Chain A
């Protein structure tokens, strides 16, 4: 405390210079990690925006997004790169974490680029699941069939 007072008296000219370098360097960057158990798509990459489908709705994550934890639903993840290009992936389920330091971890149980999906197969599976739903009365089995229907519907919607 004494030293600070001494310094202040002794060096009145020395002003504490406020550094705006942090703000001037531009918006905070998002460190984006996106992986499935078998593949890493992005590892601590700098991207502009990521759109994710969650159980509570789809939302876009920009740098400095409020921290949140969400679980994913079947849907399309769109990654917008700094140069304006975008890449789309279909995720089945998993979680997304946005941290206070703007790092984002998107961990999917199954994630594939859109062009690896076959719309005809998805439509066929959708019909099969719908007929399964009609044929069962057990609540748990019905719920499982309904989950499969919604997943296949999401795939068909993503590919159309």
Chain B
């Protein structure tokens, strides 16, 4: 179980997921609608994974949901 920002006194470094991507006007690459709305691929992936788990047959569903929430725990520390 990974917890972020738990140790008091240790400064919480901004990691890449926090930073909003800057849209440059130099290329005409198509931007995904979720990226445009401010979602990261990690968030996109989490929503898709939840959708898959929610569509499992009952006998597989509880196990999958339990396994998924055990791997990473995200805690957002209160910024004073």
What is the interface of chain A, defined by CB distance below 8 A to chain B? 37-38, 55, 71, 73-74, 90-94, 109-110, 112, 116-118, 121-122, 125, 129, 139-140, 142-144, 146-148, 151-152, 155
Question: Do A147 and B39 have beta carbons less than 8 Å apart?
Answer: yes
Q: Which of A91, A109, A121 has most B Cβ within 10 Å?
A: A109
Instruction: Write out, one digit per residue, whether chain B residues 38-64 have a CB within 8 A of any chain A CB (1) or not (0).
Output: 110101111111111111111010001
Give the chain A neighbours of B41 by CB distance below 8 A: 71, 93
Collect the chain A residues with CB atoms within 8 Å of residue B46's CB: 109
Residues of B within 8 A of A129 (CB): 51
User: Which residues from chain B sit less than 8 Å from chain A, CB to CB?
Assistant: 32-34, 36-39, 41, 43-58, 60, 64, 67-68, 71
Q: A125-B55, A146-B34, A155-B52 are in contact. List 14 more A-B contacts (CB 8 A).
A: A38-B64, A38-B68, A93-B45, A109-B48, A110-B64, A112-B64, A117-B55, A118-B57, A121-B55, A139-B38, A140-B37, A140-B39, A144-B39, A144-B47
A142-B37 contact in complex given A116-B60, A117-B57, C-beta closer than 8 Å: yes
Q: Say yes or no: B34 contacts A116, CB within 8 Å.
A: no
B74: shortest Cβ distance to chain A, in Å? 15
User: Shortest distance in angstroms between B18's beta carbon and chain A's nearest beta carbon?
Assistant: 15
Chain B: which residue is nearest A93 at the CB level?
B45
